[in-house]
A and B are shown apart, each in its own frame.
Chain A
Amino acid sequence: MPPDLAALQDWMQEAILAASGADARDFVHGDNRLTAEDRIHIYARGYRQRLLECLESEYPLLAALAGPTAFGLFAQGYIAARPSHSYTLYDFGADFAAWLDAARPSGSAQAVEAIPAALARIERTKAEVHRARGIERDMPAWPGIDPAIAELLALAGGRRWYRPDSCRLLALPFDFSEMLASGGPVPPRPEPMLLAVARANYRVACLPLEPWHYDWLAVLPEDPARAMALPEDERIAAWLPFATAHGLVVAAG
């Protein structure tokens, strides 16, 4: 590795991350249009803008609820604290919810300051479910599972069930039902909410759950080889057609 090249790249990356034009004239040509510092700042602005747009794209509801100023502060704090270490921008926003939670003032789980992290958990989960393996390749993928077939599956009481990687469960300190239903920035209610984020026919949906839905889904394995029989619970048997049609559970084999 050429030492001069390594030193130059160390310097330029530091200049971009710190948005600093210090020493730029030692390394970079300037001219009557743009100084050396101006030219470094083009890269520094582009770096922040790209990562900001990545977060805005992954967290549109949070961006709408917080507004551009507050969201910009969240994003700039995260960009400064957690530079990307992955070959893919998809990974960049993975820790945003945890960072928001750690960065907020300490207080109750239902303090208004806790809303951004909770909402970010939902939106990150949606992104992960979008790219998960899912169940579409294992069954007719298009135009979709007929609800009647799903109902027949539900009647097959002897089958064993698992929860695919495209179904994730969230226990949240706020009720985001109205926001999720409207798709708009409606403030949540300070009440606990159980939620499944699941994909069926390549469409991701957020589905509010009852505690008994959640408890059953939570014990189901992700591995089809470890699929479990239905519990003896009439409510679950009755709910099974809905759960299969929305990709919450799958019958093994």
Chain B
Amino acid sequence: MTPQPRLGLPNPGDGLGLREEHFPHLMSTPPEAWGVDWFEAVTENLLDNQGWGMRVFEHVAAHRPVVLHGVSLSIGSTAPLDLAYLGKLRDLAERFRPLWVSDHLCWTGVQGVNSHDLLPLPLTEAALTHVAQRVRAVQDFLGRPLIVENPSTYLQFRASQMPEAEFLARLCDLTGCGLLLDVNNVHVSSFNHALDPLAYLEAIPAEHVVQVHLAGPSDHGTHLIDTHDAPVPDAVWPLYARVWERCGPVATMVEWDASIPAFEVVAAELGKARRVREGLPLAA
């Protein structure tokens, strides 16, 4: 049987990350004027929050599809899964019915510590078995497929036995999980490790790609850091074009998390994505 694109999940179009800096705009502008098809909210910003942030999310979710994007699942950690966190995530998902729930291929800490960073895994057979077992456990707990994002990485372990794209492809095979393909992260990691980003993209199982992230990193000369504080760089757009050829149509979303400009400026990045898809030059 031919696999369904996007695991059979919908393509809601072009989305933005829900950020506090844009709350006044979203609460004072009619939804039909937002110019955005859907929103991604950071899960941890909503858990235990009954204040203004939750009120705005309720408003946005009442008018547009939403997805929940986590940073603390720590799917690759050797520490036990945090069942309290998962329980709250499940409650949140049942309340708001997001299109999907995503997190990262990473670990965030062990021994009870959370580094609040997306730390890289050694890409070994043992790590793959370990992560697959935990992805299955999370999917059983949540009652839905987990969508896993490729992280930006700044180091490679000597123990690694396979490329990251192969690790992700095999994880998809083993668990049926989806992929959130962060094209900027492919660019960052490829630059940092002198790898070919196009080869990475070709090795990704297209039918598992449910969502695409675009963002701007910071250039430190010897390396790039995934800071989400700038427009999508020129080098990322050809990679996005290739992703669209292989995986499109697929939900595309722009992340901007530091030095956040006006809503219209961030939304303009989605306009660039549309032009790339149509084969037009970036500047109108």
Contacts and interface: CB of A to CB of B under 8 A. Distances in A.
Nearest to B73: A87
A1 B130 contact: yes
B25 interface: no
A131 B48 contact: yes
B78 A88 contact: no
A85 B113 CA distance: 5
A4 B121 CA distance: 12
A47 B114 CA distance: 10
**Interface residue SS majority, chain A:** helix
A88 B72 CA distance: 8
Interface in B40-94: 44, 47-53, 55, 72, 77-78, 82, 85
B225 A42 contact: yes
Contacts of B53: 131
A134 B51 CA distance: 7
A17 interface: yes
B119 interface: yes
Interface string A37-54: 011101100110011001
B129 A199 contact: no
Contact of A5 (B82, B85, B122): B122
A168 to B, nearest CB: 13
Contacts of A54: 116
Interface in A50-96: 50-51, 54, 83-90, 92
Interface stretch (B154-162, B173-181, B231-239, B270-278): B154-162
B262 interface: no
Contact of B156 (A9, A29, A51, A90): A29
A16 B115 contact: yes
Contacts of B156: 28-29
A235 interface: no
Contacts of B44: 87-90
Contacts of A86: 114
Contact of A90 (B48, B158, B222): B48
B72 A4 contact: no
B60 to A, nearest CB: 15
A191 B89 CA distance: 45
A108 to B, nearest CB: 36
Contact of B51 (A33, A46, A83, A130): A130
Contacts of B192: 34
> Which of B51, B107, B126 has the largest count of A CB atoms less than 10 A from its CB?
B51
Contacts of B158: 26-29
Given A42-B154, A87-B82, A10 B119 contact: no
A45 B83 CA distance: 30
B129 A131 contact: no
Nearest to A16: B115
B116 A85 contact: no
A12 B44 CA distance: 24
A132 B124 contact: no
A13 B109 contact: yes
B110 interface: yes
A136 interface: yes
Contacts of B194: 31
A163 B97 CA distance: 33
Contacts of B4: none
A214 interface: no
A43 B51 contact: no
B114 A202 contact: no
A139 interface: no
A141 B222 CA distance: 51
B25 to A, nearest CB: 16
B55 A2 contact: no
A84 B114 contact: yes
Interface in B161-211: 192, 194
Contacts of B155: 28-29, 36, 39-40, 42-43
A12 B225 CA distance: 19
Interface in A98-135: 129-134
Interface string A193-206: 00000010010000
B22 interface: no
A185 to B, nearest CB: 23
B107 to A, nearest CB: 6
- The 4 A-B residue pairs with the shortest CB-CB distance, nearest first, are A39-B155, A2-B126, A87-B72, A6-B78
Given A13-B110, A134-B51, 11 more contacts: A4-B159, A5-B121, A9-B77, A12-B119, A17-B113, A29-B155, A34-B223, A42-B154, A47-B117, A87-B47, A87-B82
25 contacts: A4-B122, A5-B78, A5-B121, A5-B122, A5-B126, A5-B130, A10-B110, A28-B157, A34-B192, A36-B155, A43-B117, A46-B225, A47-B115, A50-B117, A54-B116, A83-B113, A85-B114, A86-B114, A87-B82, A88-B44, A88-B48, A89-B116, A131-B50, A132-B50, A134-B50
